[in-house]
A and B are shown apart, each in its own frame.
Chain A
Amino acid sequence: MSDTVLEARNLRVLYRTKRGPVRAVDGVSFDLRAGETLGVVGETGSGKSTLGKAVLGILPPGTTKEGELLFERKNLLTLPDGQLRRLRGKEIALIFQDPMTRLDPLMTIEDHFLETIRAHESVSAEEARERTRAALASMGIPESRLKNYPHEFSGGMRQRIMIAMGVVMRPKLLVADEPTTSLDVIVEGQILEILEDLKRAYGMSLLLITHNLGIVAEVCDTVGVMYAGLFVEYGPVRDVFKRPIHPYTRGLLASIIHLDSSELVSIDGLPPDLVTPPAGCRFHPRCPYVQDVCRTTAPEWVEYRPGHFALCHFGRDFL
């Protein structure tokens, strides 16, 4: 078995609001091994982006963090700021959803890279420039464009620049939060190919946060399905897609409109308010198979198949 790079044990993140704590992530556990890709899927407000922010240590001040989030056995939740800063960008890198707003419009592309590289390593300007050239060329961006500003690039190129910047320090873990959402389908395919190639080339692990189940099926090894701050199902991609256990996962898979769809399926109701989540199983108000026990008792996290977990009282019946 390969090394675990990132390990979450009962991770909780609570935002402070006037109405009370928002349980954005409420007890999530997973393992991400070296060179593998974990997909986190969920709808708006399921807490998937909060999970990504927790890994990067960029949650807003005053947020309550509980449980364990281990990166190479160091708990990211308790690590002092200074050490976290040294990890971030070097060992753990992030690719955001919207590359336009994440690049400084007043800085050239080259300056972005020089800043990143020299924040982590004291190398000569020439050496840093050389690495920048190589990183961008590997993403198909010619040297002649180093002095250009972000607005002079197309959406796909900007995302390739972001990726090049993310991997220029050869991180062990790359967190990608909806990396292709603002892109067209063909460019999306190109970006996914690039991420696959990088994983193969550097043995990097990838935490891919997305709402698109098609992308998960294509690039992930394991997947966590997030609903109302919880993983309701977690396991190898093939198991989760081919033999889903949790009713939410089944509903989500059925609701995707794909080329072979023959009917329109949706999940009734709305995701719950995370200040006052429903008692018992959080999915029970929308679950077509709801029973009395679901309304009162929270289900257990059970391993139904090797590595395939689900959070449902009747998981066994759905096997």
Chain B
Amino acid sequence: MTEPILEVEGLVKYFPVKIPAAQRLVVRQPLVVHAVEGVSFSLKPGEIFGVVGESGCGKTTLGRTILRLVEPSDGRIVFDGVDITHMKESELRPIRRSMQIIFQDPHAALNPAMTIGESIADPLLIHELATEPEAKVRALEIMTEVGLSPAEQLYTKYPADVSGGQKQRAVIARAMILRPKLIVADEPVAMLDMSIRAKILELMLELKEKYRLTYIFITHDLATAKFICDRIAIMYLGRIVEVGDSSEIYREPKHPYTQALLGAIPVPDPDRPRMKTLPKGEVPDAIRPPAGCRFHPRCPVSTVACGWEPADFLDLLDLRALDDGVRVRDEEALGSGDRFTTQGGASRIRALDPGMTAREKRSLLVLTALGSLAVGLLNALAGVGTFGLGILVILVFDLIARRESVRTDLVDRGTHGDTLRIRALDPGMTAREKRSLLALSVLGALAIGTLQAVMGVGTFAAGVLVIVVFDAIARRESVRTGLVNRATSRVRTYVAGILDAAPQPLAGAVKRITISGSEVLVEFAPSTDPGLRKVDDRDVRCVLY
């Protein structure tokens, strides 16, 4: 028996999610994308191992983590008998020659400022395995081998001047020039036109035979994978759900997800009827992947044991909300979505707002008191200010009136003639009158200010009184209990009704609906990942087997 060329054990890759600083105060746990979660497999030399899945399933991350282009979060990678999981970059470098990658987009994988030939020869120079003239000779050889001919002529062409198929041949040549043992091919034909895909695949097969290469062939296209892979692993949300000989998997797919993928491929035959039941929805968010079997929310044949959880109940409510009538009824009965929380294996629905906490009330009281005092004070100050302004006006006018010239002129005009002694002009207020007026105004302004201050405090006091009285009523055990009980049992009945009308597996997975204080708890049976288990000739991750 031959030694495996690659062994991957429990490989895990989490990517941290950046959260804005403000949000970090609320979100306690750091969020991570579960890109690859516990993937294990081993490859025999000369094997073509397909990794198949939809976008976001982690297949590209898996390929890159195996090559240590992305650092693994956990697990072990053994390449050619050497554990490279934690190897330093300098130690890894010579090993990298033996493991190369072919990228999906040939238009982006080649440096537009380098000629095709320079790009292909570059790895030899980077690894210091050849001088420039030697590298050129080797590049020309490999170019002819991958069908880039006439090689001399294409050597000096830039990527922009050649077709997509030629670019992908150049990318393959660049990967081949270091004589690798393992090549990770990440969607090598996805960006190419149908009529040239076959040529590239044929080339890859030829090279494999000739140099005993091992491929990890990453693709979303099951038909291509079937054609060229010896074994395939179907991935869904970071996990392998089915892995085995490709011919067997295609002959009889076992995992419902594999069946769905195969059934959904459009077949170029107008007489073939289309698959009737497609899985619902789309691949969920890898930040909060579903519990249990990750495919269960979309699975057409799910059972009660597949890992139903509170999030599924919330999804059910979202689905119901598509019907306007149902949405209005749901909202009337259950309130808006923010009254739902999930915790462990239970959905919590807060049936009734139990009111403010003692602390909230105290803070509110203090704030109200401070506020009304501040307003009163402001009012008093404003009253005094108005008064001061009045005094100023009086003083100014009085001063003008007191000026000799003005007075004389007025008096002169008033005492026209010799003998008549008539007081022609009021000489103004007496000093005493002025003092009284001043005193009165001061008292008045102060009185108004005080009144306003007192009224503010009064309003506040009235508010406090109302709060206290209502709180006292609400606190009475009988009232509270009655209200809470009525609301929660209403919610409980409603939730039970929703579950009765719900699709069977979800309803069946609900262990019980209980009332806890003012909350209704929808409890689910604890769920576990079914794990990859040996089924006949392959491994499948599904509770049905």
Contacts and interface: CB of A to CB of B under 8 A. Distances in A.
Nearest to B285: A154
B134 interface: no
A103 interface: no
Interface in B22-38: none
A193 B201 CA distance: 32
Contacts of B198: 255, 257, 264-266
Nearest to A196: B274
B282 A218 contact: no
Q: Say what secondary structure dominates the interface of chain A.
A: helix
Interface string B260-302: 1110111111111011001100110000000000000000000
A140 B270 CA distance: 28
Interface string A214-234: 111110000000000000000
Interface in A127-161: 133, 137, 140-144, 154-157
Given A157-B282, A259-B226, A252 B250 contact: no
B322 A185 contact: no
Contact of B266 (A190, A217, A257): A217
Contacts of A253: 268
Contact of B196 (A142, A186, A266): A266
29 contacts: A43-B194, A140-B322, A142-B327, A143-B321, A143-B324, A144-B321, A144-B337, A184-B54, A184-B283, A186-B261, A190-B278, A211-B194, A212-B266, A217-B268, A217-B269, A218-B266, A218-B274, A237-B270, A241-B269, A242-B271, A252-B195, A255-B197, A255-B198, A256-B194, A257-B223, A257-B227, A259-B223, A261-B227, A266-B196
B480 interface: no
A17 to B, nearest CB: 16
B223 A154 contact: no
A215 B272 CA distance: 12
A154 to B, nearest CB: 5
Interface residues of B, number: 47
B248 interface: no
A297 interface: no
A141 to B, nearest CB: 8
Given A253-B268, A257-B224, A187 B195 contact: no
Contacts of A258: 223, 265, 267-268
Given A142-B318, A156-B282, A264 B267 contact: no
B341 interface: no
B54 A266 contact: no
Given A44-B193, A185-B264, A258-B223, 18 more contacts: A141-B322, A144-B321, A186-B278, A186-B282, A211-B193, A212-B266, A213-B268, A217-B267, A217-B268, A217-B269, A238-B270, A255-B195, A257-B221, A257-B224, A261-B223, A264-B227, A267-B195, A267-B196
A211 B274 CA distance: 19
A157 B268 CA distance: 26
Given A190-B278, A264-B202, A241 B194 contact: no
Contact of A185 (B196, B226, B261): B261
Contacts of B223: 257-259, 261
A218 B267 contact: yes
A237 B163 CA distance: 31
Interface string B100-126: 000000000000000000000000000
B266 A215 contact: yes
A189 B278 contact: yes
Contact of B270 (A189, A212, A217, A265): A217
A319 interface: no
A189 B274 contact: yes
B199 interface: yes
Interface of A: 43-44, 133, 137, 140-144, 154-157, 184-190, 192-193, 211-218, 237-238, 241-242, 251-253, 255-259, 261, 264-267, 270
Contacts of B322: 137, 140-142
B55 interface: yes
B318 A214 contact: no
Nearest to A136: B322
Interface centre among A137, A193, A217, A265 (most CB of B within 10 A): A217
Interface centre among B195, B196, B223, B269 (most CB of A within 10 A): B195
Contacts of B278: 186, 189-190, 193
B220 interface: yes
Contacts of A141: 322
Contact of B267 (A43, A137, A143, A214): A214
Contact of A43 (B195, B199, B324): B195
A155 B223 CA distance: 23
A227 to B, nearest CB: 10
Interface centre among A137, A264, A265 (most CB of B within 10 A): A264
A214 B262 contact: no
B277 to A, nearest CB: 10
Contacts of A267: 195-196
Contacts of A193: 278
Contacts of B250: 259
Contacts of B279: 186
B194 A252 contact: yes
B222 interface: yes
B201 A264 contact: yes
A214 B261 contact: no
Interface in B216-274: 220-224, 226-227, 250, 260-262, 264-272, 274
Nearest to A210: B266
A266 B197 contact: yes
A192 B274 CA distance: 11
Contact of B197 (A184, A218, A257): A257
Contacts of B202: 264, 266
B50 to A, nearest CB: 13
A214 B264 contact: no
A185 B54 contact: yes
A11 to B, nearest CB: 24
B430 to A, nearest CB: 72
B266 A142 contact: no
A185 B318 CA distance: 24
Contacts of B197: 255, 257, 266
Nearest to A141: B322
B227 A214 contact: no
A157 B318 CA distance: 14
Interface in B67-92: none
Contact of A259 (B164, B201, B267, B324): B267
A238 B337 CA distance: 50
Given A184-B54, A217-B266, A259 B220 contact: no
